[in-house]
Chain A
Amino acid sequence: MPWLSYRKALNRALAGELAGDPDVFVLGEDVRVAVSTVTAGLAGRFGSGRVLDTPLSEQAFTSFATGAALAGLRPVIEFQIPSLLFLVFEQIANQAHKFSLMTGGQCSVPVTYLVPGSGSRTGWAGQHSDHPYSLFAHVGVKTVVPASPTDAYGLLSTAIRDDDPVVVFAPAGALAVRENVDFAELAAVPLGVGRVRREGDDVTVVAIGHLVWDALAVADEMAGEASVEVFDPRTLYPFDWDGLAVSVAKTGRLVVIDDSNRSCGIGAEILATAAEWFGLPAAPARVTRPDGAVLPYAAELDRAVQPSRAQLVSAIQRVLNDGGSHAR
């Protein structure tokens, strides 16, 4: 079977949706030459009328997409830099997201916001290294963070077909992932359905985006001392609470690894929900970026601020050693 890279998966999903639905179009900066490589070949195949290079006017082209969606099209915007989402937060959170409710359901805004290369790309420093998925989950914009090429394909396809705005974060830390897949079996993945990446009995680790691969590596490392289940939510909003509940009901323990800043990050929400609903016998733990983190430039400093495997090992050990008496 052929190898599918993460970027190629995004590219295949875009091409598939462009081919399948004449209302779909792509816009963004440098998308015709495909600086991010995600839009490679699309302008040649579908024409510059459906693959639009925009001026550096993020706020205007984000609302331009809202308007186009209100008129019946399905725009996909590529943002080269995750921190640009701060610049267009008004256009997404306060405009696109609110139109359906504010108009009493007269319209829909099927726009997909694709961020290929979210989070740290090592050495891109303070204004190119954010991972602001928790913000969108907080305001209620549908938010997906695929960890693997097949999920990237499946979730981007679903996002484009969805009638609401959806933000697709493709973590920089996952872009190098490749999978050996049968292309004929690539399929849409529904929003709000998580996936157990590795089964285990002692502790559930919820890992988001590229951190899924770190969690799986840690689970391997710790195989001698603990049986770790790795739960990949894939969609952060809507979150698969039922799927997580099943996992935690089995393991009784919970650790979250989340590339958000600590306060009000999705990890905080997962722990809060677990505290309310899951009846955990042991205190849960989370590994996140520090409170209020800004990613510093130097490689050592950049890494120091991101969640690490060592921190995850410690967190798992702490949770396993908690005084609770979970009986299996």
Chain B
Amino acid sequence: MSTSCDLYRTVRLIRRFEERAIELVHSGVIIGGIHPYIGQEAVAAGVCAALRDGDIITSTHRGHGHVLARRADPARMLAELAGRSTGLNKGRGGSMHAADFSLGIFGANAIVGANGAITVGAVWAARRQAGEEGGPVGVSFFGDGAVNQGVLLEAMNLAALWRVPVLFVCENNGYATSLTVEDAVAGTITGRAEAFGMPAVTVDGADPQAVLDAADAAVLRARADGEPSLIECRTYRFDAHHTWEHGSRVRYRDEAEVALARTRDPVEIQGSRLSGVDRMAIDAEIEALLDCAVEFAVGSPRPDPAGALDHLYATGMRGRSGSG
């Protein structure tokens, strides 16, 4: 199928996955809530479409889109959110830590700005091991809230200094929880990268194709000569910062603003590029996939509490128990 169809399939999958996950939050199946990615799907879809097998990504607390766009199994992802032993992380990580190392997904990370340096180290190491073959490029996804975290800026410096080909992808959705970019960011987001001599562009983060074009250009440079880049994707989060908000009285943006943003829906933007037949076929395929995923997740066994600290140490070491 065409790139347009692939991009549509990804944004539609993420959208419907998130909607199903929110239902499972409200019905109590997903206990910790989620940070919905709804509205930002074009970023994950566009960036990940520029990658190939072996590339490395790291993600955030709002990470379902990245993990799905990197082709993690939606059923095992949903099982992870439901805390089941069949989940990607065997129920040990949940929404904010989903990982699939077999696909180069080096984990969603719940500390804002923390994943950049991890990505730089991972890509540096993988390329060193690959030698002449070149090795992977990496992507560090983060939000606008992360651009004021010192460790992320330090990581950009290391990437530029040591020519580690990492795409720093900023999903600027306008808000760090409730704090606006205007109230948080002095200077510009791209300016931070430019200060390290790193190419930086701002793209329409509602348009999967626009994101893909920018990512393609950055990945090309990255593979050619190890150059890192920053891509600022202007996007908008249609839903809550966290599903906790659904039942709270916290208000930091008005309905009109959200309604206006919703007029530029990445699923509709990409969907309009497909024939009606193609679109319906993909929609049906995704509904069937997610029906199976929900069934798998809800029907999967819960982990045995006796193994609560399994995997704490890679060596299998056990500390003392908390009682007795």
Contact = CB atoms under 8 A, between A and B. Distances in A.
A55 B121 contact: no
A104 B90 contact: yes
B310 A105 contact: yes
Contacts of A66: 117-118, 121
A71 B104 CA distance: 10
Given A63-B114, A64-B117, 13 more contacts: A67-B120, A71-B122, A71-B125, A72-B125, A73-B125, A95-B111, A103-B101, A103-B311, A104-B89, A104-B92, A106-B100, A110-B314, A142-B317
A110 B100 CA distance: 19
B312 A68 contact: no
A67 B89 contact: no
A70 interface: yes
Interface string A78-96: 0000000000001100110
A25 B101 CA distance: 23
Nearest to B311: A105
Contacts of A54: 158
A65 interface: yes
A50 to B, nearest CB: 10
Given A59-B154, A100-B312, A67 B111 contact: no
Interface residues of A, number: 44
Given A59-B150, A63-B151, A63-B155, A104 B121 contact: no
A82 B33 CA distance: 39
B106 interface: yes
27 contacts: A55-B161, A57-B154, A59-B151, A60-B116, A61-B117, A62-B117, A63-B116, A63-B121, A63-B151, A64-B124, A67-B122, A68-B125, A69-B125, A71-B121, A71-B123, A73-B128, A75-B121, A100-B312, A100-B314, A101-B92, A102-B107, A103-B92, A103-B311, A104-B90, A105-B314, A106-B99, A238-B317
Nearest to A62: B117
A25 to B, nearest CB: 9
A164 interface: yes
B125 A104 contact: no
A240 interface: no
Contacts of A108: 314
A140 interface: yes
Contact of A95 (B114, B128, B310): B114
A64 B158 contact: yes
Interface string B102-141: 1000110101001011111111111011000000000000
B32 interface: no
B315 A55 contact: no
A103 B314 CA distance: 11
Contact of B121 (A49, A59, A65, A100): A65
Query: Looking at chain B, what size class is its interface with the partner chain?
Result: 35 or more
Nearest to A98: B97
B88 interface: yes
The 9 A-B pairs with the shortest beta carbon distances in the complex, nearest first, are: A67-B121, A60-B154, A104-B90, A108-B314, A63-B117, A105-B311, A64-B121, A67-B122, A68-B125
Nearest to B151: A59
A106 B102 CA distance: 9
B151 to A, nearest CB: 4
A104 B155 contact: no
A280 interface: no
A110 B253 CA distance: 45
A34 interface: no
Nearest to A50: B128
A102 B93 CA distance: 5
A245 B124 CA distance: 46
Contacts of B124: 64, 67-68
A199 interface: no
A142 B154 CA distance: 27
B39 interface: no
A140 B312 contact: yes
B305 to A, nearest CB: 15
Contact of A163 (B111, B123, B314): B314
Interface string A220-249: 000000000000000001100100000000
B118 A70 contact: yes
B208 interface: no
B118 A90 contact: no
A19 B61 CA distance: 40
Contacts of B310: 101, 105
A278 interface: no
A65 B119 CA distance: 10
B145 interface: no
B150 to A, nearest CB: 7
A59 to B, nearest CB: 4
Given A67-B118, A95-B114, A103 B157 contact: no
Contact of A164 (B88, B102, B315): B315
Nearest to B138: A67
A109 interface: yes
A99 B124 CA distance: 19
Interface string B248-289: 000000000000000000000000000000000000000000
B319 interface: yes
